[in-house]
Structure 1
Amino acid sequence: MKITGACHCGDITYEAELDPARFGICHCTDCQVTSASAFRTIAVVKQAEFRLLSGTPKTYVKEAESGNRRALTFCSTCGAGLWATDEKGESGIVNLRAGTITERRDLTPRYEIWCSSAMPWLARFDGTERHDKGFT
């Protein structure tokens, strides 16, 4: 499905092709902190099917629990998180932040990753495939 997205202020816009089966939830501690929430909802798209339409995002590189270095992209004007990739962009994958997707109401999470870090007070989501760590 074709999706579009933008940061809160609209300075940065994008479009992508998304397989709805690649829409999920990440409970890792990094996503909890960087989203300022109990989890982050992500849409995984192929880099070749992602296109930045406007704006120049800022990038922050962090080391994940897995040891992988991740480039987190955000708007320097409004601060909205937009997407993440591996540091050098070699994986060919972009993890879009679901809150920036215009069509987010049409998507349902299909999986949850890093459930071992999930908040104990958080209710389970119905119909998701659950993984204690990331995908192996």
Structure 2
Amino acid sequence: MARLQIDGGCHCGKIGYEANVDPANVIICHCTDCQANSGAPYRANVLVKAENFKLRGQPSTYVKTADSGNRRLLAFCSDCGSALYSTTVEDPRIYNVRLGSVNQRAQLTPRAQGFCRSAMPWAMDIRNIPQLPDPPAASSSPRRAARGRG
């Protein structure tokens, strides 16, 4: 599969990025840390090599220690709170860019899932959960309309 040039950033626009990614490197993480930090049942990421990642702006960071003892740096916007990426604290070589912050996210289908032992049992198949209709758009901006209520 061909590489894909992506861009994205936080909700308020203070922080942005560009990256060149391999679409095969999209994963879902069900670990309890990702659940707690995202406020969601899982987190989707696209892995990006450091040399293929260009950041604009200065995110705030938080360092967490995983059950394994590994220290991970989590980056987010201090103004709007958007999660942007995680990486190692020492010598970051790979960035786990949060798929929700990527403008081309619809083109990046997850190829693997990790930490499935921590997954919410219902999160593995949501096809039978009833779908609510989309609310009417409040503005003419397609990006704003796609953001939802959250």
Q: Same fold (TM over 0.5)?
A: yes
Q: TM-score, normalized by length of structure 2? A: 0.79
SS in structure 1 opposite 2:106?
Answer: helix
Q: Match for residue 80 of structure 2?
A: 78
Larger radius of gyration: 2
Pair 1:103 & 2:104 matched: yes
The answer on 1:112 being equivalent to 2:113 is yes
Residue in structure 1 matched with residue 137 of structure 2 by the alignment: none
Identity %: 50
Q: Does 1:65 align with 2:64?
A: no
Structure 1 unaligned runs (5+)? Answer: 126-136
Which string of whole-angstrom CA distances, capped at 9 and with x for unpartnered residues, describes residues 15-62 of structure 1?
00110010110000000001100000000010111001x221001000
What corresponds to 1:26 in structure 2? 29
Amino acid at match of 1:12: I
Cα distance in 1 for partners of 2:33, 2:15 equals 23
Alpha-carbon separation, structure 2, partners of 1:5 and 1:121:
30
Shift, 1:123, TM fit: 2.5
After TM superposition, the runs of 4+ consecutive aligned structure 1 residues lying more than 6 A away are none
> What does residue range 11-22 of structure 1 map to in structure 2 within 5 Å?
11-22=14-25
- AA in 2 matched with 1:98: L
* Structure 1 length-normalised TM: 0.87
Structure 2 unaligned residues grouped into runs of 5+: 127-150
Secondary structure at the counterpart of residue 32 of structure 1: helix
Aligned amino acid, residue 107 of structure 2: D
Q: RMSD in angstroms over aligned alpha carbons? A: 1.2
Distance across 2 between alignment mates of 1:30 and 1:37 = 10
- The amino acid that maps onto 1:15 is E
Higher strand share: 1
